[in-house]
Amino acid sequence: MAEFRNQTISYLTSKFREIGIRPVSKHGQNFLIDMNLLDLLVRSANIQKDDVILEIGTGTGTLSTRMAAQAGHLVTVEIDPHMATFAGEELDDFENVTLLNYDALRNKNNFRPEMIETIKEKMAEIETDHFKLAANLPYNVATPIISNLLRTDITPKSMTVTIQKELAERIVASPGTKDYSALSVWIQSQCRCELVRIMPPGVFWPAPKVHSAILQIEVEPERRAAIPDLEYFHEFNRSLFFHRRKFLRSVLQSTYKGKLDKAEVDQVMEQGGLNPSARAENFTVDEILAMCELFRQRMQEKQD
Ligand SMILES: C[S@@+](CC[C@H](N)C(=O)[O-])C[C@H]1O[C@@H](n2cnc3c(N)ncnc32)[C@H](O)[C@@H]1O
């Protein structure tokens, strides 16, 4: 097996001192210093030679080198120019790495288009349709990254990520629990999720205030394909949980305000056998998918 540089506190502090920089907390710069956990993340991602891997948050490049050694191609994105220079030196010897130095997100709802284009180009170059996200994500943008990747036209096979424990728990939450949210439903409607490992703050430098987790998200293509209109479902689901304590009838009335009158909303609810005084958080993922489909079809009938 190839020898890789270990990322220890003394290595990081001396390197940062040499360059004259400090970890920037607004960019979520907490570096994984437990190499066993870094290897667990790589193993969980099950990286193959026909995979294009997207890493958001190159940092020092420690995780990147390990992934590049196994991948067909690694596209790694880093917002901080100091970090990109640092990582660039580490990754210089790899011909299958594209290091991009910019913000991976154009805004909260969209990725930077050039990044998506680069991934598509690399997939075409190595003639594969296998694309995976594997990263120790910057915590402040982990939700839009995971959620939006399921809204692009390059569906990932899987997403293997280190994120805040709280976020991981929200993603895997079951109906009726306080963590069950639009995000849980959106991800679970098309993916199988597994909490691989909970990690204490001390496995990072500098240590964050919270616990973290490695989450493995496997996209299930048949389930994804069974959703007739992903964007419609995304918006419906978000609107359903927007006032999560409100009764379903009132939530649906405000969702369809100006599009369906109250009697029409009641009709669709009756058709689906939906209890008007239930709350979004009581419905399973499949029930929410079915509910969305009833309303989508009703809207389509109205437009025809
Ligand atoms: C948690 S660190 C991970 C570093 C490294 N991969 C590791 O495992 O130790 C997150 C990295 O993401 C970078 N970053 C933060 N926001 C970003 C964004 N919007 N786009 C790209 N990189 C970002 C930070 O500068 C930081 O280097």
The conformation of residue 62, written as its DSSP 8-state character, comes to H
Q: Is pLDDT at 97 greater than 70 in this prediction?
A: yes
Q: Which residue, by CA, sits nearest to atom 4 of ligand 1?
A: 59
Q: Is 182 in the pocket of ligand 1 (CB under 6 A)?
A: no
pLDDT in tens, 138-177: 999 999 999 999 999 999 999 999 999 999 999 999 999 9
pLDDT on residue 62: 96
Whether residue 50 is annotated as binding a ligand: the answer is no
**Domain residue spans of the chain:** 9-224, 230-303
Structural contact between residues 13 and 20, judged by C-beta atoms closer than 8 angstroms: no
Q: What is the mean pLDDT of the chain?
A: 96
- Cα 85 to middle of ligand 1, angstroms: 13
Average pLDDT estimate for 281-299: 97
Q: Which CATH architecture has domain 9-224?
A: 3-Layer(aba) Sandwich (3.40)
Q: Which of 80, 108, 164 has the most ligand 1 atoms within 8 A of CB, as the residue to mutate?
A: 80
Burial environment of residue 189 by CB neighbours within 10 A (0 to 12, 13 to 18, 19 or more): buried
Per the annotation, does 32 bind a ligand? yes
For the CA of 104, the nearest atom of ligand 1: 20
pLDDT tens digit string along 191-226? Answer: 999 999 999 999 999 999 999 999 999 999 999 999
pLDDT at 64 over 90: yes
**301 burial type by CB count under 10 A (0-12 exposed, 13-18 middle, 19+ buried):** exposed
Determine whether the annotation assigns residue 202 to a binding site.
no
DSSP 3-state of 227: coil
> Across residues 262-272, what is the average pLDDT?
97
Nearest-CA residue for atom 16 of ligand 1: 27
The interface pTM score, or ipTM, of the predicted complex is 0.99
Predicted local distance difference test score (pLDDT) of residue 230: 97
Share of the chain above pLDDT 70, in %: 99
pTM: 0.96
What pLDDT is stored for residue 258 in this prediction? 95
CA of 136 to the centre of ligand 1 (A): 7
The answer on whether 57 is annotated among ligand-binding residues is yes
Atom of ligand 1 nearest to the CA of 139: 1
User: Which atom of ligand 1 is closest in space to residue 64's alpha carbon?
Assistant: 6
Measure 294 CA to ligand 1 centroid, in angstroms. 41
DSSP 8-state class, residue 113 = H
User: Buried b / exposed e across 275-299, counting CB within 10 Å, b at 16+?
Assistant: eeeebbbebebeebbebbbebeebb
CATH superfamily placement of domain 230-303: rRNA adenine dimethylase, C-terminal domain (1.10.8.100)
- What is the rounded distance in angstroms from the CA atom of residue 185 to the CA atom of residue 299? 22
Question: Does 304 have pLDDT greater than 90?
Answer: no
CB 27 near ligand 1, within 6 Å: yes
Q: CB of 99 closer than 6 A to ligand 1?
A: no
Q: Whose CA is nearest to atom 7 of ligand 1?
A: 31
pLDDT at 43: 98
Of 163, 141, 159, 169, the C-alpha closest to 208 is 163
Distance 87 CA to ligand 1 centre (A): 11
At 29, phi and psi to the nearest 5? -80, 80
